[in-house]
C-alpha cells in the first residue's frame, strides 16, 4: 500500500460525505511520516488580511498548501488526509466546501469544521489546519 486509502460508510451518510467533499476515515500507508501544518490564517501573500470571507478561505487554502509543500509534501493539500477548520460564522462552510471541490475535485480527506466565537488574529474569520504524510524513499537493493 503506497497511498492513503479513504473510506465512506455505507448509505446516505457516506453519499453525503462524498458529495460534500470529505471522507469518514483514512488509513495511512505503512512507514508514512506525518506532516502537520499549523493553523493557517486568511492572509494574502502580501501579508494583508483578505477582506471577504471567500478571499480569506482561498488564502487559508493557499497558505496550508504552501506550508505542506515547504515541509516536503510535493502535492500540498492534494495529499492532505486531514483538514480542520475553524469558522466564526458557520454559514461560510458551504462556500469553503465549494472552493475545496473546485480546487481539489477528486480528493476527499477527513474533515472537521468547528464554529467558534473568536480567532486570535485581528480580522480573522477562518483558520485552516492540515495534516498530510510523505513516504520514505524506496530502499535501493
Predicted local distance difference test score (pLDDT) of residue 61: 96
- Give, in words, the CATH class of 5-134: alpha beta
Predicted local distance difference test score (pLDDT) of residue 137: 77
Find how far residue 31's CA is from the centre of its chain. 22
Predicted local distance difference test score (pLDDT) of residue 68: 96
Domain ranges of the chain: 5-134
Half-sphere exposure of 69 (CA within 13 A, CB side): 11
Mean pLDDT, 10 residues at a time, the chain of 141 residues = 83 86 88 93 75 90 95 95 96 95 94 95 92 78 45
- The owner of cell 502580501 is 46
Amino acid at each position: 500500500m503506497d497511498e492513503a486509502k479513504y473510506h465512506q460508510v455505507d448509505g446516505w451518510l457516506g453519499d453525503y460525505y462524498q458529495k460534500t467533499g470529505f471522507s469518514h476515515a483514512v488509513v495511512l500507508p505503512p512507514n508514512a511520516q506525518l506532516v502537520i501544518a499549523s493553523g493557517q490564517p486568511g492572509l494574502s501573500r502580501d501579508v494583508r488580511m483578505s477582506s471577504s470571507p471567500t478571499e480569506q478561505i482561498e488564502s487559508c487554502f493557499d497558505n496550508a498548501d504552501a506550508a505542506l509543500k515547504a515541509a516536503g509534501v510535493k502535492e500540498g493539500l492534494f495529499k492532505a488526509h486531514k483538514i480542520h477548520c475553524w469558522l466564526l460564522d458557520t454559514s461560510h462552510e458551504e462556500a469553503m466546501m465549494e472552493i475545496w471541490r473546485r480546487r481539489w475535485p477528486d480528493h476527499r480527506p477527513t474533515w472537521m469544521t468547528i464554529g467558534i466565537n473568536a480567532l486570535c488574529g485581528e480580522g480573522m474569520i477562518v483558520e485552516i489546519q492540515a495534516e498530510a504524510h510523505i513516504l520514505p524513499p524506496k530502499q535501493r537493493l
